[in-house]
Structure 1
Amino acid sequence: MVQKKAIGMLNFLKDKIMVEVTPLIKNDYIFLDLPYYTNIGDTLIWKGTEEFLKTLPYKCRYRAAIETYRKPTISRDVIILLQGGGNFGDIWRRHTDFCLRIIHEFPENRIIVLPQTVYYADITVLKADAERMAKHPNLTICARDLVTHELLKTNFSNNNILLLPDMAFCIPQSYLNKYIQPVEDKTLFFKRKDKEFQSFDFRKHLRNHSNVEEHEWPSMEKRLIGNNILNYLKSAHGIFSRFKFLGAITAKVVDWYAIHIYMPYLVKIGIQFLSSYQYIFTTRLHGAILAVLLQKTITFFDNSYGKNSSFYNTWLKDAKEIEFVEREL
């Protein structure tokens, strides 16, 4: 019965995306701000987005990360998609700056920012961004949680605002099944180690569990060959990007490797890693999302600014398999 309820929730979340986003994409498109880096969570978002896009009858004309982006020549009816995630605002600023650049470069194209958590520590930065985005006549920003949705509705009211779940929920079960590992008698403490980390009395929650292993994403802990190859290619592109012809060639090489090799490589590693644990404690949102996709039982901790709690309260609070731990304010 529990498994049936979980599957029902997953189908609801995926269907929500299909119903809301599909009508917005009525032509060929380009897909930008791809995550050519080691965060498997962002890569799961990318993979889910690609799976969603496969259901559409249109072509992707161009894909690129911030590092490889070169303004393409496209007609005004080509739609621009920007990768979703948790990097809209002033914490991970380079992604919002890139979004603003695209808005400026393509004033006549429909632009869709896929589901994001939005956070601003500085209200003046928020107002400046909202003012610039308000000038675009066809910008849709998808909120990934109710707190973000309210913030966008209040401050970005000139833009089209939607409430949607994370794109990783579009990863099909058949794809996950290819890489699921046998479950071992061990518990994962999935602890992020960046500026979104929120401290708790973790020992209180972990003390009743045995065989506890503390890890980050494997791509962040180990010098994986896939990471090394991508870093080498990105470095080469950085050297040659000042030359128009050579820069264009190296950008294409990096894009090809990231899209066809690196992305599926990281997704595979992430699934293999998480699927082997009996129980999961996670401080990462996509530790929770992938665990839900794998139908695991978990304890989910909030992050430093409430991203995890906002997402949980919007989409996952009815999941009996999840115990959520709020920030201790």
Structure 2
Amino acid sequence: MTAPAPLAVLDACYRTHVGAGAPYALVDFPDHANVGDSAIWLGELAMLRHITGCGPVYVSTWHDFDADAFRRACPSGTLFLHGGGNLGDIWPHHQHFREHLLATVRDRPVVQLPQSIHFRDPARAGRFAALAAEHPDFTLYVRDARSHAFATARIACPVDLVPDSAIALGAQPRGAAEVALLMLLRSDDERRDHGGAPAAPARVVDWLDDDPDLPAGTGVAAREAQAQARVARGLRLLAQGEVIVTDRLHGHILADLLGIPHVVLDNDYGKIAAYAAAWPAATPVATAATMAEAHVLAERLRDAG
């Protein structure tokens, strides 16, 4: 029996919680320049709009959530928590917000959209596990087998394995490349030492700086415009390369949506390899352990193309 396509798996996940016309809130908007989180948020919005026919009645970041405004706007609908890779102790603001909501929003379904789980200190998982188990209607979605194994062993709530919501953006148009090799490499807390620096003549970039004309505002329309601007910037950046090397998960996912062959180097806890093992890419992709190997594999991909 053929396994369902990833997008069908994602669609079924969302339809478990909402239907046509259902009100919902979508919180933990990624109010930062990292393109990957905005790609996830736009994918979440696309899925929810497709199923319900409407946008969220309430959105917030982790730092501007207003419980009274949320309840006025969404007195009974499902509360969706933005997915990504911040379930754990690397990005504590998002985790603290998640735990606060589990402790205080107990009168409706709360759904954690697909996340990768990583606690550098496993003891810190205890508080989250306790809050999840105590919540009357909490569902946790994860996007790789390792996160699924951790959650099913430690967290007493419904858990399911589904792909990252950014795939709901679908195939993206790709223009002519500007350089033979583009390297999108992390410059944050998840970066791993890959045993050497990138070699010339690769163009090396990251995507943690917003354009100066980013739209302002905090409402649903403004947040959507901000996410669209960030994803458009990321797609333009990736489209520069004939072949890409990246250690960002959404460098991998968006390169796949663009149809650009690419080489993956992992982040510091193996998030990308774990995701790729669960949800294989449609475009040619190779996995490297070192920077030197990444250059060799990128050359092979370019020759094969």
Residue 39 of structure 1 corresponds to which residue in structure 2? Answer: 34
Q: Is the 8 A contact 1:137 1:159 kept in 2?
A: no
Partner SS state of residue 213, structure 2: helix
1:40-99 CA distances to partner (integer Å, 9 max, x unpaired)?
010110111111112112542111111221112256641000100000011101111111
1:224 maps to which of 198, 211, 222? 211
Taking every aligned residue pair, what percent have the same amino acid on both sides? 23
| TM-score, normalised by the number of residues in structure 2 | 0.86
1:260-281 CA distances to partner (integer Å, 9 max, x unpaired)?
4311111111111111210000
Partners of 2:149 and 2:75 lie apart in 1 by 30
Q: Aligned-pair distance for 1:184?
A: 2.7
Aligned residue identity for 1:34: F
- Higher helix content, 1 or 2: 1
Aligned residue identity for 1:31: L
Which stretches in structure 2 are left out of the alignment for 5+ residues?
Answer: 292-305
Residue 85 of structure 2 corresponds to which residue in structure 1? Answer: 86
Q: Aligned-pair distance for 1:327?
A: 7.6
Partners of 2:201 and 2:46 lie apart in 1 by 36
2:62 maps to 1:66: yes
2:12 maps to 1:25: no
- Cα RMSD for the two superposed structures: 2.4
Residue 248 of structure 1 corresponds to which residue in structure 2? Answer: none
1:232-288 CA distances to partner (integer Å, 9 max, x unpaired)?
xxxxxxxxxxxxxxxxxxxxx423564243111111111111112100000111000
Partners of 2:103 and 2:201 lie apart in 1 by 52
Aligned residue identity for 2:163: P
Q: Aligned-pair distance for 1:320?
A: 6.4
Partner SS state of residue 193, structure 1: coil
Q: Aligned-pair distance for 1:103?
A: 1.3
Residue 161 of structure 1 corresponds to which residue in structure 2? Answer: 159
Aligned residue identity for 1:289: I
Q: Aligned-pair distance for 1:18?
A: 0.6
Residue 313 of structure 1 corresponds to which residue in structure 2? Answer: 277
Q: Is the 8 A contact 1:283 1:303 kept in 2?
A: yes
* Count of residue correspondences: 284
Residue 147 of structure 2 corresponds to which residue in structure 1? Answer: 148
Partners of 1:103 and 1:290 lie apart in 2 by 31
Aligned residue identity for 1:200: H
Aligned residue identity for 1:285: L
Residue 191 of structure 1 corresponds to which residue in structure 2? Answer: 185
Q: Is the 8 A contact 1:191 1:214 kept in 2?
A: yes
Structure 1 residues 93-112: aligned runs within 5 Å: 93-112=92-111
Partners of 1:114 and 1:105 lie apart in 2 by 19
1:55 maps to which of 43, 50, 55? 50
Q: Is the 8 A contact 1:68 1:254 kept in 2?
A: no
Aligned residue identity for 1:226: D
Partners of 1:120 and 1:25 lie apart in 2 by 30
Partners of 2:112 and 2:224 lie apart in 1 by 23
2:281 maps to 1:323: no
2:6 maps to 1:13: yes
The 1:67/1:127 distance shift into structure 2, 3 A limit, reads: closer
| TM-score, normalised by the number of residues in structure 1 | 0.80
Partner SS state of residue 189, structure 2: coil
Residue 125 of structure 1 corresponds to which residue in structure 2? Answer: 124
Partner SS state of residue 170, structure 1: helix
Residue 181 of structure 1 corresponds to which residue in structure 2? Answer: 175
Aligned residue identity for 2:191: F
Partner SS state of residue 275, structure 2: helix
The 1:188/1:73 distance shift into structure 2, 3 A limit, reads: same
1:171-221 CA distances to partner (integer Å, 9 max, x unpaired)?
033xx33xx332234211111011100111356xx66xx74101001xx24
Partners of 2:170 and 2:271 lie apart in 1 by 25
2:284 maps to 1:286: no
2:266 maps to 1:302: yes
Residue 254 of structure 1 corresponds to which residue in structure 2? Answer: 218
